[in-house]
A and B are shown apart, each in its own frame.
Chain A
Amino acid sequence: MAARAWCSGMADPLVVVLLRWTDARARIDPLSGEVESDPRGAGPSEADRCALEHGLRIAEAAGGRCVAVTLAPEEATELLRDALACGADAVLRVAVAPWDPRVPDSGAATARALATAIRAELGEPSLVLTGDHSADRGTGSTPAFLAAELDCAQALGLVRLSYADGELRALRRLDRGRRERLAIPLPAVCSVEPAGLRLRRASLPSTLAARTAAIPVVAGTVEAEPVTAHAARPLRPRAKELPAPREADPRLRLLRLTGAHEEREPPRVVVTDDPAEAADELLDYLRGKGYL
């Protein structure tokens, strides 16, 4: 594995940033449940924009190339032009048919199509970056499948990512405000949360150059595995088995099961007219949950 990593001094490490083309303001018809999306409003999510900024910085620090890749129909060309303008060395669109709501989601198929296209057009990547819940329709499974396809490490939920002295270090957000420090072996697939930094604003000269640049396209398919229906019946979730409490006394067992007398943080309703106080409450809450 180490032979593929850039820390071995191999020239021209390749950082691939996967950008998911999505309409963050799609409308859902309350009656039919139909999703209406508008290509004009579509673009990368904030997490993907963060991933691109990470990619640009890491490629710069490692003296490598940063390539933005999307798996999307032709309308997504604008997204790649923006990535080029921001400083991506190259871009690639893996062309797929417009979204058909009848075809089921498949993170595996998305990952396969991406891996095939990246290997064929760009070579073996040293690092693949993407926003959390990216690349496919937000199932969040693509990075894992992709790591399997590319046979490399995976890290997710990253809020900080830095590359120095041939080492990729990251900070991962855990629940309850905890953090996990990671040293990520390369090659790797990393997905980042929209936190810590914002995508840079593209300069005018690079924007102008990107406006007329040719955008390479390769054909890809995301044929999902056909779904076999074994039986059709109403959904009845199975009962969840819980181990019996250990207490000897039946009354204590009952109390344990109901959760009474147990120490926990009660829900609170905060009512305040003072904006500063309200802001403090919110900040405390976010800090408590580990978002800040």
Chain B
Amino acid sequence: MNQRYGDISFEDRMAQVDFRVAEEPHIVVDTDVCRSCTTKACVHACPANLFVPTAEGGILFNYEQCFECGTCYLVCDGGDAISWSYPDGGQGVVFRHG
């Protein structure tokens, strides 16, 4: 709620982007690995804000509004914690002004 005048909320920002949501997730996080991760870089580095830390130290993840950039698996310190792939052909983000 610390939104400044002139900014738009993150939800509104993402609402401007066309996502064709696939039936199956293309990101799966092994939260057991996350519990021992101290940095949790994916949480703030993901430009779509898909990763949310939970109180138990794990990670809650979404795949629906993913830009498919690959930042999360590249910054992940936990080795194989994030199983990442492109969504099925034709699904996922569709940029019009990229």
> Is A38 within 8 A of B96, CB to CB?
yes
A40 adjacent to chain B (CB < 8 Å): yes
Tell me what chain A mostly uses at the interface: helix, strand, loop, or mixed: loop
Complexed CA–CA distance, A40 and B18 (Å)? 12
Contacts A25-B18, A41-B18; A198 near B23 (Cβ below 8 A) = yes
* Contact pattern, B 65-98, Cβ under 8 Å of A = 1, otherwise 0: 0000000000000000000000010000010100
Which residues of chain A are within 8 angstroms of B18 by Cβ–Cβ distance?
A: 25, 41
Complexed CA–CA distance, A41 and B18 (Å)? 9
A230 adjacent to chain B (CB < 8 Å): no
Which residues of chain B are within 8 angstroms of A38 by Cβ–Cβ distance?
A: 96
Contacts A25-B18, A41-B18; A201 near B94 (Cβ below 8 A) = no
> Is A201 within 8 A of B96, CB to CB?
no
Complexed CA–CA distance, A201 and B96 (Å)? 24
Smallest distance from the beta carbon of A186 to chain B beta carbons, Å?
Answer: 32
Q: Which of A168-219 contact B (CB under 8 A)?
A: 198, 201
> Is B96 within 8 A of A41, CB to CB?
yes
> Is B94 within 8 A of A41, CB to CB?
yes
Complexed CA–CA distance, A10 and B23 (Å)? 39
Smallest distance from the beta carbon of B20 to chain A beta carbons, Å?
Answer: 9
Smallest distance from the beta carbon of B88 to chain A beta carbons, Å?
Answer: 7
Smallest distance from the beta carbon of A95 to chain B beta carbons, Å?
Answer: 26
Looking across the interface, which residue of chain A has its beta carbon closest to that of B88? A201
Which residues of chain A are within 8 angstroms of B88 by Cβ–Cβ distance?
A: 201
Looking across the interface, which residue of chain A has its beta carbon closest to that of B16? A27
Complexed CA–CA distance, A16 and B76 (Å)? 51
Complexed CA–CA distance, A51 and B23 (Å)? 19
> Is A40 within 8 A of B96, CB to CB?
yes
Complexed CA–CA distance, A38 and B96 (Å)? 9
Q: Which of B5-46 contact A (CB under 8 A)?
A: 18, 23
Smallest distance from the beta carbon of B4 to chain A beta carbons, Å?
Answer: 23
Which residues of chain A are within 8 angstroms of B94 by Cβ–Cβ distance?
A: 40-41
Looking across the interface, which residue of chain A has its beta carbon closest to that of B96? A38
Complexed CA–CA distance, A240 and B63 (Å)? 49
Which residues of chain B are within 8 angstroms of A201 by Cβ–Cβ distance?
A: 88
Smallest distance from the beta carbon of B1 to chain A beta carbons, Å?
Answer: 16
Complexed CA–CA distance, A41 and B17 (Å)? 12
Complexed CA–CA distance, A40 and B98 (Å)? 14
Complexed CA–CA distance, A65 and B94 (Å)? 34
* Contact pattern, A 252-292, Cβ under 8 Å of B = 1, otherwise 0: 00000000000000000000000000000000000000000
Which residues of chain A are within 8 angstroms of B23 by Cβ–Cβ distance?
A: 198
**Most interface-central of B18, B23, B88 (chain A CB within 10 A):** B18
Please name 6 further chain A to chain B contacts, defined as beta carbons within 8 Å, in addition to the given A40-B94, A41-B18, A41-B94, sorted by A numbering.
A25-B18, A38-B96, A40-B96, A41-B96, A198-B23, A201-B88
Interchain residue pairs with CB less than 8 A apart (9): A25-B18, A38-B96, A40-B94, A40-B96, A41-B18, A41-B94, A41-B96, A198-B23, A201-B88
